[in-house]
Amino acid sequence: MKNYIYIIGLTMLFYSCATEDSNDAPTVPELVFPVNNQACTDLNLTLDWNPSVDADGDNLNYVVQVSNSASFSQVEMEAVVEESEKMITVTSNAIYYWRVRATDASGASSDFSNVHSFYSETEGIENHVPFAANMLEPSQNEYVSSGVIRLQWQGEDLDENDLLTYDVYIGSSENMLLNEAMNITNDYFDTSLTAGTYYWRIDVKDATGAQSTGQVWRFVVQ
């Protein structure tokens, strides 16, 4: 009987410790301003996002990253702030991409937010570089059935009536993507794939040859 009570006591102790040590990561921040693909004429602007929610009531800080690359291969600016905004200064006539993630007092972090882009515009520019493509489907890390799979995206350019073309890259490794199509005008591409994990990227070009290299996305074929 004593052994039985002892085991119950240990079980309750372990459960209590596990409960006390548990910690939930905060929710993913939602970007507010600049809105995605906006032209900004002020070179001093404030990035703004909706605050994350932490189920444990922990204090939060935010990691803000700004890059000229949609893949964030090189980060131009990174800052840690406690408020849900960050003032930055940018150079003129350039595309910027930004994202935010939240971290609580226990060190648990959310995923990064969706990436938003903006263009720092000044008067007299004759042609804007197109924005990096936005993923539509498959969504990031989505599981899809084998067979013919449609990759779909959205391209955008601040220049009205500027014809955009797309280069499509697909591969089983993030660092070894193969060019599957070049200079297509459709914003989708159909491909037949067997089971496995795949990565894909869309590069966007306008009529003058200005080009944006896209992010690398991932999906799984079952």
Residue 113 to residues 40, 75, 110, Cα–Cα distance (Å)? 21, 16, 8
> Following CA atoms 173, 112, 143, 166 in sequence, which dihedral angle do they give, to the nearest 10 degrees?
-60
- The pLDDT of residue 18 is 45
- The pLDDT of residue 212 is 86
- The pLDDT of residue 13 is 47
Residue 47 to residues 36, 63, 91, 159, Cα–Cα distance (Å)? 12, 12, 15, 24
Is the pLDDT higher at 159 or at 115?
Answer: 115
- Look at 18-27, 125-134, 187-196 and tell me which has the smallest mean pLDDT: 18-27
Mean pLDDT, residues 201-219 taken together:
90
What percent of the chain lies above the pLDDT cut of 90?
A: 63
Q: Mind listing the pLDDT tens digit for each residue in 2-44? A: 555 444 454 544 444 444 568 889 999 999 999 898 888 888 9
Helix (H) or strand (E) holding 13: helix 2-21
Q: Which residues contact 20 (CB under 8 A, 6 or more apart)?
A: none
Ordered structural domains, the chain, with CATH: 30-120 (2.60.40.10), 134-221 (2.60.40.10)
208 confidence band (pLDDT: 50, 70, 90): confident
Rounded Cα distance, 206 and 42, in Å? 25
Is the pLDDT higher at 126 or at 183?
Answer: 183
For residue 64, which of 179, 55, 52, 197 has the smallest C-alpha distance? 52
Rounded Cα distance, 128 and 40, in Å? 13
Tokens at residue 128, please? 């804007």
Q: Is residue 65 predicted with pLDDT exceeding 50?
A: yes
Cβ of 17: how many Cβ atoms within 10 Å? Answer: 10
For residue 96, which of 51, 38, 140, 135 has the smallest C-alpha distance? 38
**CA diameter of the chain:** 88
